Structure 1
């Protein structure tokens, strides 16, 4: 800094991704605007020096609370709620005002809070998303934005994004077509990227593709957030997805990871076949679940002995997950015994 002041006096220049203090852009955010920035707000954990440096005097009570004490306080508050959805809403409120504390709670209390911010509770949250919606947490790209998607992506505040989780809301968990209210899925999944995978939240972008819904209950719900029309199909749907996929790399580079979540079967497999050779692209329901299940089977064989080919596999249903697992098992058996994958599929049964 000019005037011989130590650059690290208030910690701005020594701040890291794990310990940001001030968002540096054209100007330095301070005062009330800093406290409204969820990425950098620390609440009562702002130190005395930080309060002086960033014009926070008088905007906060005089006490300074450590993040550990804030965590203890928030966990006490969350545990007072007996309804899981209320716990979910309390966590989302925290994420929207103090992101650092949100992830500290989630990382340090993962067994208790994971069922709240992810399955099963956020399934109910998606069903009621229109009623509990307060603050946008990702990008909504609908048919209204056709022809403008490259421009829409530039509206996202972060210029450096490494992973996108996207859904079109047609097959949310086991709940069916929830349209735009499926946004809870990419938001929740990316929370896990950060809490369990250590990915900086600023590098993550949740996206919902809005093409309508076939859910009559939602179409008649006055609080529904999406397009009030039947779900687009065929060329109209394919063209919107094509424009979205073509706009991603110019914005975020060749290495951007794109993860599909909860697309209906008929679209999921087609999109995977179309874009897996041109983008860093995978479908979690088809491939992610399959990889975990296959790993479990291979681990079990260490105790049981023998090979996968020695067993017959029975599936209840033939959805994305079941079909993906079955295909990967057949592929692994082919790798082991050298027989065609069609031959090894005879060991696998999918029962309605």
Structure 2
């Protein structure tokens, strides 16, 4: 859902009460900057409040280090996840529930949580300096970067025009808005097929459009999707345009990559699930990034800058999974501790 203030877009998707108040209070950022800039130097400063950041902050705090965590939104992508069935030892949980548990666990330790804060620059001049959007600068002996990733966009005509008007990226947030209607899911990986299965219980019909010749999702998910009577899967489909009536989505155009034939599907909603983009644009020139924009790390989570570590989905770690992000966060925290005791 989209929220407008005096005719201008105020927010889109899920938003916390704390964030609403911050956006409405025009002097909030100035007051926050004044409070933040007076903080003492940290031993470890974690950037990002997802599974990797939470694990890193807990491991650092348990070493007796002065630890802070800067998060734009605690939980990150996990907050938008519906069912989680591959978190070892927990047969089933849901994203918001796991996020609450993560934050509660972090608060058990003496971690300085600075929520609703966006990092915009990283520098090292002896100590590592982290600049925030509100102008505050935090200093730390070490930094652990875990900014996570965001959904990749289709980049086709109509996508931005109808964003929030039928084009969505979070099935959990927006799925109920399309109850009894026809929708499409773009992407045949785990996220796409999981979204299709979830939506199939709410909407009238789901069409999955996959660019490749075969689905990339786990076999168990594909089997489940194919067993449902209201999911249609189309492979070798290149989405070319989101169509609408000026106020909302009414369909999508795609090209059959095998035959070249062009098709149109009438729809009320389109859920884009084609992978993730690391949130690292602000780090270009500060640390070494891969061609895909991922932070390059070694086996200890060390980046190209001594004292700066990284963990989670924003790094070159090959598999983007919650449990792997947590492990990499713990690894980076131990790497930071080892770095400090050797200085």
TM over 0.5: no
Q: Which has the higher contact order (CA 8 A, sep 6+)?
A: 2
Larger radius of gyration: 1
TM-score scaled to structure 1, two decimals? Answer: 0.25
